[in-house]
Chains A and B, each alone.
Chain A
Amino acid sequence: MHLPDGLLPAPVCIAGFAVTGLTTWYSLKQINRFSNPTESIPKASLLTAAFFVASSIHIPIPPASVHLILNGLMGTLLGYYAFPAVLIGLFLQAVVFGHGGLTTLGVNAAMMGIPALLAYHLFGWSQRATRHWSTNWSLGSSAFLAGAVGLGLAVLVFLTLTLSFLPAGLDANLERAAILGLALAHIPLMLIEGAFTAILVLFLNRVKPQLLKQT
């Protein structure tokens, strides 16, 4: 789910870089408030690489298969490091593998990174709201919400941008029907991403709870 080079008009690409620049500045400002900001850099870097690799694992949905985006999970585990991690992951995907692009890096990073930051806050709020529930239910439901909303928002932005800027003279009714159809088709994927995030967070809570401590 990356927008490739050449697809979007230049003003949209520039607007994407402006949004990404502002969000990166905000994330770095929050990170620099930590007592030792450099301490989490190796953790964030290796987890960035791990997320990058993990997103290539396919989940079978007979007769096809899908790969996960994991931006909600990144927000949950990396906190404010999630946006720089998404930005770096997308940059490496563009220059090493040709997925996405350099001119669309700003748009792609904003599309996946801002939902990751929202997922981080959503995970925290949801955990506080469900603190009276059992640990597993509270953690699982919060992670489900973070995973599903992270993907859902990214898909919504992706479809809107692709269908708004791609076709020259495409029929307006066809465009609306395509947005609606594709958005509906992604609802099951949101549920799968949410369920996967919940199972994974519960697994980490059992095996390595330190990883779930907010960065």
Chain B
Amino acid sequence: MRRYELDEFAGLDSLIHRWEPRCKLVGLLSLIFAFAWVENLRLVPLMLGVTAALYLLSRLPLTFLTTRLQYPGLFILAVVGLLPFLSGSTVIWQWGMLSLRQEGIEAMLLIAGRFLAIVVLSLILFGTTPFLNTVRALQSLGLPVILADMLLLSYRYLFEIAAMVTTMQQAMQLRGFRQTGRFPFLPSGKTLRQLAALVGTLLIRSYEQSERLYKAMRLRGYGRRPVGPQSVLPQHALTWRWHLLGLLLSGLTAAGFVLAELQYIS
């Protein structure tokens, strides 16, 4: 499993980095959901323009975007790539059985545009705040304690467990394990048993680690007194007037997109 650090560029200095996490969460999430409403193709360039401006403001490097867009980009391409050939009735180009349809192209551009804008905004949201501060902000906005604790602990141990499974798979291969099947379209029973043992061992190790972790947490007072949600202000934070101005601007932009969309529908 390739390691993608969310906090890799959370220490940079930009207007978006300095934005208070709760205001940033509400502001950018309202934009993300407003973009999900867009059905009018004419709004797509505007949506991508707002996204590009925010990305430039965040000063996140372009490599951060390109490395993280590879997998989801290929996935969305696989999902919508056939639409121009299958969807719609207005044929704009034909070659034998193959015909390119206008409605399909428009649907593909709309979905791809919405996808790109939403994914880039998500990267700005989670890439410019340390993950711990994001979870604290979510908690202070009403995320239940059980979910917040599970989220932090899962994130904390995710890469450790991924490294553990890589080591276990290497050990299996060194002992002669080969993922092969004898019959086409049928998994081998032996391989299934060996992989079940691998996953089972992984679950047992994680379970035993969780027991040790719980004891250590109890010794440090976990579960005895409720800890109130504390949102943390970023380093060199702006004044509250700027935090609220950012929230207002993003809220107005989101409302503008929703209103334009409603007008388009009516």
Residues of A within 8 A of B (CB): 4-10, 13, 24, 28, 31, 36-39, 41-50, 52-54, 56-63, 65, 77, 81, 84-85, 87-89, 91-92, 94-99, 101-103, 162, 166-171, 174, 188, 192, 195-196, 199-200, 203-204, 207-208, 210-211
Contact = CB atoms under 8 A, between A and B. Distances in A.
A65 B181 CA distance: 10
Contacts of B37: 10
A92 B155 contact: yes
Contacts of B157: 45-46, 49
Given A5-B114, A24-B144, A56-B1, 20 more contacts: A5-B119, A46-B206, A46-B210, A48-B154, A54-B203, A57-B195, A91-B151, A96-B155, A97-B4, A101-B119, A102-B29, A166-B107, A167-B83, A167-B87, A170-B87, A192-B192, A195-B192, A199-B193, A211-B203, A211-B207
7 contacts: A8-B36, A41-B214, A42-B217, A58-B179, A60-B187, A87-B147, A188-B185
B146 A28 contact: yes
B119 A98 contact: yes
A77 B158 CA distance: 18
Those 6 A-B pairs whose CB atoms lie nearest each other, nearest first: A6-B115, A45-B153, A6-B114, A98-B72, A5-B118, A50-B206
A200 B118 contact: no
B32 interface: yes
A92 B150 CA distance: 11
Interface string B102-132: 0110110001111111110010001000000
A7 B38 CA distance: 11
A117 B68 CA distance: 32
Interface string B134-154: 000000000010110111111
A147 to B, nearest CB: 11
B100 to A, nearest CB: 14
Interface string B203-238: 110110111011001000011000000000000000
A130 B149 CA distance: 37
Nearest to A94: B122
**Interface SS, A side:** helix
Contacts of B197: 203
Given A43-B210, A45-B210, A53 B39 contact: no
Interface string B1-19: 1001010000000000000
A62 B178 CA distance: 13
Interface stretch (B55-63, B73-81, B241-249): B73-81
B200 interface: yes
B252 interface: no
Contact of A192 (B69, B112, B187, B223): B187
Given A42-B210, A102-B118, A13 B161 contact: no
A10 B179 CA distance: 42
Given A43-B211, A60-B191, A199-B196, A4 B75 contact: yes
Contacts of B80: 7, 166
B117 to A, nearest CB: 8
Nearest to B181: A62
Nearest to B83: A167
Contacts of B200: 200, 203-204, 207
B150 A168 contact: no
B118 A62 contact: no
A96 B8 CA distance: 11
Contacts of A200: 196, 199-200
B162 A53 contact: yes
